[in-house]
């Protein structure tokens, strides 16, 4: 059985000098989900959408990495079932339900990003952040 929510790619490399990248949340289940995004380094990473509903489909999330030192971070997506007619996502999380989580490890590198090796591409274990020009728009 697959996880109700998956993140693609499963890991990401971005430039520490600042960049915009995208990742995709996919709802693999049969019911709508509410999601909330958190990051271990909220001072350097921002997201265009941090809460919302995810129908049985996928949603692209835009991430911006500000200039800063190289290093690792974790993007954690918490999610809960959210049947039609549910309150807004933040209310669902505040109601005390125990959310499930999916994690996207992100590594910010100092120099040019190396393309993933053929093995990484084949296994979808690493990915160079896709530039998302729309992520920079407010």
> Which CATH topology does 5-109 take?
Immunoglobulin-like (2.60.40)
Neighbouring residues of 5: CB distance < 8 A, sequence distance ≥ 6: 25, 26, 27, 28, 29, 33, 35, 54, 77, 79, 100, 102
132 pLDDT band, cuts 50/70/90, is low
Instruction: Evaluate if residue 131 carries a pLDDT over 90.
Output: no
Look up residue 36 and give its two tokens: 């909330």
Contact 23, 122 (CB under 8 A): no
Q: Show Cβ contacts of residue 91 under 8 Å, excluding neighbours closer than 6 positions.
A: none
In angstroms, the CA 108 to CA 31 distance is: 34
Domain spans, the chain: 5-109
What is the per-residue pLDDT across 72-110, written as a single tens digit (0 to 9) for each?
999 999 999 999 999 999 999 999 889 999 999 999 998
């Amino acid at each position: 059985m697959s996880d109700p929510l998956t993140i693609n790619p499963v890991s990401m490399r971005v430039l520490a000098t600042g960049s915009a990248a995208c990742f995709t949340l996919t709802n693999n289940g049969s019911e709508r989900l509410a999601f909330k995004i958190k990051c271990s380094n909220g001072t350097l990473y921002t997201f265009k959408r941090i809460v919302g509903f995810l129908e049985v489909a996928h949603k692209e999330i835009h991430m911006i990495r500000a200039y800063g030192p190289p290093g690792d971070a974790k993007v954690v997506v918490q999610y809960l079932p959210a049947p039609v007619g549910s309150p807004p996502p933040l209310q669902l999380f505040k109601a005390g339900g125990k959310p499930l989580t999916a994690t996207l490890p992100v590594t910010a590198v100092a120099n040019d990003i190396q393309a993933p090796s053929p093995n990484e591409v084949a296994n979808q274990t690493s990915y160079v952040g896709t530039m998302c020009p729309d992520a920079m728009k407010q």
